[in-house]
């Protein structure tokens, strides 16, 4: 992440939110931390969502992948079943409140509840200059990113509050922290920035529920298979390597960050925005510095070098 404008604090500076978080001892994550847990991964049909769903299943959880595209979901499930993972698809339009209720009612009825929610459904859109953008297409980007996150969090929150336990992960992206250069992305940038503020506010409202953690991941630039195919064709035509390759993350990078966030090693991390472009979370000493602080919240303060 890069630094940006400071937001206004939402608490008394003399009494930081982090002081209300539980103390913890650093622990190393283990591969079976999620055994017995139930996870729902929205947008789990491809790319980042698929990698995260499979990683969570490999860590022992029962995973439900949800999105509109059943074909993509079934491809994810087929990969999981080849490894004998516990993973199943649930197709539904996550922009529709009734469909979201149906999906999560199914999970509760068949799995017993939700321990982990990873809100990854969404996507890019409205790529025209603002004066040329179609208003409905622009709004659709916000609906697919922000509204789906709201609806899915709303669907699981009561159950997590009753148990006083659970993990909610949201997903930031390009434009959330600094402008995207040489593209027209007002809708996408606004939607990802809104998800960061949504996460920050949702955490603030439930910061006294010790067993509930609400964090946001920033996967970095992660080209989809379609993006990579287009780049390969371009490189064949030009004979030059596309500079995007140097900045590109593998989907598994986001999955590694998610697994760490769901492990005991991250127990004190709450209400934060964590990026694959940084590695402080791999260092137990630095994690211990972050826990009692307001670092990596939306107020845009960071661990000193």
Does residue 224 lie in a domain region? yes
Residue 78 within a domain? yes
Instruction: Answer yes or no: is 3 within a domain.
Output: no
Domain of 266 in residue numbering reads as 20-290
Residue 5 within any structural domain of the chain: no
Q: Is residue 10 part of a domain?
A: no
Beta bridge partners of 275: 218
* Paired strand residues for 166: 212
Q: Does a structural domain hold residue 12? A: no
Number of domains in the chain: 1
- Asked if the structure places residue 8 within a domain, the reply is no
Check if the beta carbon of residue 255 is closer than 8 Å to that of residue 249.
Answer: no
Say which CATH number the domain at 267 has. 3.40.50.720
d(CA 28, CA 77): 29
Going residue by residue through the chain, which has 305 residues, state the pLDDT in tens, using 9 for 90 and above.
333 322 222 333 233 333 334 343 444 445 457 999 999 999 999 899 999 999 999 999 999 999 999 999 999 999 999 999 999 999 999 999 999 999 999 999 999 999 999 999 988 877 788 888 899 999 999 999 999 999 999 999 999 999 999 999 999 987 777 777 778 879 999 999 999 999 999 999 999 998 999 999 999 877 777 877 787 888 788 888 877 777 778 899 999 999 999 999 999 999 999 999 999 999 999 999 999 988 888 755 556 66
Q: Please give the model's pTM, rounded to 2 decimal places.
A: 0.85
> Would 154 be classed as within a structural domain?
yes
């Amino acid at each position: 992440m890069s630094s940006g404008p400071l937001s206004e604090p939402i608490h008394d500076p003399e009494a930081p939110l982090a002081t209300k978080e539980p103390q913890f001892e650093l622990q190393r994550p283990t591969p079976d931390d999620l055994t017995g847990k139930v996870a729902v991964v929205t947008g789990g049909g491809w790319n980042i969502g698929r990698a995260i769903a499979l990683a969570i299943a490999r860590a022992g959880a029962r995973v439900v992948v949800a999105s509109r595209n059943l074909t993509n979901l079934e491809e994810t499930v087929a990969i999981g079943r080849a490894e004998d993972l516990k993973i199943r698809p649930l197709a539904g339009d996550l922009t529709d409140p009734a469909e979201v209720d149906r999906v999560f009612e199914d999970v509760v009825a068949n799995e017993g509840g939700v321990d982990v929610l990873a809100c990854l459904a969404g996507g890019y859109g409205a790529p025209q200059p603002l004066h040329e953008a179609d208003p409905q297409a622009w709004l659709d980007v916000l609906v697919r990113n922000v509204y789906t996150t709201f609806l899915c969090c709303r669907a699981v929150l009561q159950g997590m509050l009753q148990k006083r336990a659970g993990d909610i992960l949201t997903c930031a992206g390009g434009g959330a922290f600094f402008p995207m250069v040489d593209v027209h992305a007002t809708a996408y940038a606004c939607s990802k920035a809104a998800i960061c503020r949504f996460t920050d506010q949702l955490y603030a409202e439930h910061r006294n529920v010790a067993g509930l953690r609400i964090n946001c991941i920033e996967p970095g630039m992660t080209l989809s298979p379609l993006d990579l195919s287009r780049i390969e064709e371009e490189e064949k035509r030009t004979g030059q390597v596309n500079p995007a390759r140097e900045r590109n993350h593998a989907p598994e990078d986001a999955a590694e960050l998610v697994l760490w966030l769901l492990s005991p090693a991250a127990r004190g991390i709450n209400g934060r925005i964590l990026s694959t472009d940084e590695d402080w979370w791999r260092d137990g000493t630095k994690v211990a510095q972050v826990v009692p602080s307001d670092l990596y919240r939306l107020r845009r303060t960071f661990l000193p070098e």
